[in-house]
Amino acid sequence: MRTKRIFLTAIVAVGIGVAGASLASAQSYPDRLIKIVVPYPPAGPADVAARLVTQPLSARLGQSVIVENQPGGGGRTGAKFVAHASADGYTLLLGGTNPNAIASLYRTLDFEPIKDFAAVGLIAFDSNALVVNPAVPAKTLQELVQYAKANPGKLASGATVGIGPHVCLELFRVRTASSIVFIPYKGAAPAVADLLGGQIQIGMTSKAVLLPLITEGRLRALAVTSDVRWPELPDVPTMAESGFGGFPPYLWSGLLAPVRTPAAVIDKINGALNEGLKSPELQASIAKLGLQTKSMTPREFADKLAVEARDWEAAVTESGVKID
């Protein structure tokens, strides 16, 4: 009995020690520069979103916050770097949707895209649109399917390999049993350039990228993945309204940390982020990208990612996309 009491006392002592260490690290945090790793090239929507929050975070945390781009592997390179970084709150990942997508896409990975990260907070959300080059005669998804079946192999779609639009375009092909050829790209920019030039005819990427091109008439939107129509394109239906439900509706940009980062440190970053998101200037800057801000606690963001992970797993399974 005495041995059991000693054992329980030891457990309690360890628990108090861990809690005390977490509290101490939060009280002293941050005492040096904080780095946000963006796993994509500069100037994209994710990169811009990360750079918009560095100043508000720096002002509220009292330390410099910088962005470091580590592109490659559809977001895997930067994600792996952060997953293996020290869990102290000084190395964060600009992530959200993509860790969920790549968790189901890749057969072998040397890190866990979901389990190796702790949710810190949401910055903004976006959605995709399925678009065609104006030379394609289709004005609706149904007409696109009819045209594709009447002209097998004539249409090509394209997107960055290993991210959400890749899965969605292949899911569309599978569901419609059409012979649309998929062309892999290393980034959204070259895919959009080829779409504008007519080298490919179908594309899908974010509102932040596509909206100006759609409003200028350089691309034609057939449907959007969000669960409501875009206010800027009230005549363009959602995928669900067009008879193609089950496509993951949103893209999320938020901050993630290595999974063992103390909860008190995560809460401190989350509080600074959410305070910064209240700024009208920051909200206006994010809105110019076609994005919407939304504050969440770490728990709420984690719950959102868990739901989304199930959506992406279902989409990847149905699409049949797997990458070695």
Q: Which CATH number is 280's domain given?
A: 3.40.190.150
| Cα 282 versus chain centre, distance | 19
- Residue 22 belongs to a domain: no
Whether the predicted pLDDT of 26 surpasses 80: no
* pLDDT tens profile 280-293: 999 988 888 778 88
Query: Is 238 contained in some domain?
Result: no
The two structure tokens encoding residue 84: 């293996």
Which of the two residues, 41 and 277, has the higher pLDDT score? 277
Based on the fold, state whether residues 147 and 203 are members of the same structural domain.
Answer: yes
pLDDT number for residue 192: 94
What's the confidence (pLDDT) of residue 24? 53
Domain-embedded: residue 232:
no
What's the pLDDT at 9? 45
Q: In the structure, what pLDDT confidence band is assigned to residue 2 with cuts at 50, 70 and 90?
A: very low
Rounded to an integer, the average pLDDT of 221-236 is 95
**Paired tokens of 4:** 């059991």
Mean pLDDT (whole number) for 170-195? 92
With a cut of 70, say whether residue 6 has pLDDT above it.
no
Total tally of structural domains belonging to the chain:
2
| 257 and 109 in a common domain | yes
- The half-sphere exposure of 175 on its side-chain side, counting CA atoms within 13 A, is 22
pLDDT of residue 3: 46
- pLDDT for residue 65 is more than 80: yes
Question: Does a structural domain hold residue 13?
Answer: no
> What mean pLDDT do residues 203-228 have?
94
Would you state the pLDDT for residue 98? Answer: 58
Q: What is the mean pLDDT of the chain?
A: 87
Contacting residues for 183 by C-beta, under 8 A, at least 6 apart: 156, 157, 158, 191, 194, 200
Tell me, yes or no, whether 146 and 113 share the same domain.
Answer: no
Tokens of 68: 């470091």
Dihedral of alpha carbons 113, 119, 123, 126, sign: positive
The runs of H, that is alpha helices, within the chain are 2-28, 45-61, 76-83, 97-105, 141-150, 164-176, 188-197, 207-215, 263-277, 280-288, 298-319
In this structure, the answer to whether residues 220 and 266 fall within a common structural domain is: no
Residue 99, domain member (yes or no): yes
Integer angstrom CA distances of residue 11 from 3, 5, 18, 173, 202: 12, 10, 11, 56, 59
Give domain status of residue 15, yes or no.
no
291 and 218 both lie in a single domain: no
Arithmetic mean of pLDDT, 103-122: 84
Q: What is the mean pLDDT of residues 191-213?
A: 94
Same-domain check for residues 68 and 149: no
* Domain identity same for 38 and 102: yes
Output phi, psi for 232, to 5 deg.
-75, -20
**CATH number of the structural domain spanning residue 214:** 3.40.190.10
Q: Are residues 138 and 107 in the same domain?
A: no
Instruction: Identify the residue with better confidence: 66 or 164.
Output: 66
Among 180, 205, 224, give the residue marking a domain's end.
224
Q: Is residue 144 over pLDDT 90?
A: yes
Label the pairing between strands 220-224 and 128-132: antiparallel
Q: Can you read off the two tokens belonging to residue 1?
A: 């009995």
- Tell whether the model's pLDDT for residue 217 goes beyond 90: yes
| Confidence (pLDDT) at 246 | 85
Which domain does 85 fall in, by range?
28-122+253-319
For residue range 288-314, what is the model confidence (pLDDT) as tens digits?
Answer: 877 888 899 999 999 988 888 888 888
Residues β-bridged to residue 126? 251
Confidence of residue 223 (pLDDT cuts 50, 70, 90): very high
The verdict on residue 231 lying in a domain is: no
Predicted confidence (pLDDT) at residue 11 exceeds the cutoff of 50: no
Residues 204 and 137 in one domain: yes
* Band of pLDDT at residue 99, cut at 50, 70 and 90: low
pTM: 0.81
